[in-house]
Amino acid sequence: MQQSISFITLGVGDLARSRAFYRALGWTESSASKTEIAFFKAGTVVFGLFQRDALAEDANVSSAGTGFQGFTLAHNVESEDAVSKTLEQAVAAGARLARPAEKVFWGGFRGYFADPDGFLWEVCCNPFFPLDAQGRVQLPE
């Protein structure tokens, strides 16, 4: 697995409140944002805000207790095959597979693993956010 983080997504209790907070800090929201998710460019990382219960459901874990920490880390790759291979590599290194690789309704392909401390990583191929030659996510302005 390449040493990089593509997205940091926080599972928030009130998305409208969180959007307003980050805008008040002077952050500019990407045009790729939707009603249910907000995207901000944060240096070489994309920072996302997603409703906590919906994000937990996407990762196939409980939003309560220790099953979900309130955020996920994401590692974007160039192909569906790379998603599967990265998940296999993580499991071989000691991760727990939280959600097998599969197509997603919005057109991507993803799976989740939990590191030894239970922190969730999404491994994703997103055709709408291509990677540049250095493997960085290209987010619309």
| pLDDT tens digits, 73-82 | 999 999 999 9
Domain CATH code at residue 26: 3.10.180.10
Q: Which domain holds residue 45?
A: 7-125
Quote the CA–CA distance of 99 and 121 in Å, as a whole number. Answer: 10
Quote the CA–CA distance of 125 and 101 in Å, as a whole number. Answer: 10
In a domain, 96, yes or no: yes
| pLDDT tens digits, 27-57 | 999 999 999 999 999 988 999 999 999 999 9
- Which value, in Å, is the radius of gyration of the alpha carbons in the chain? 15
Structural domain count of the chain: 1
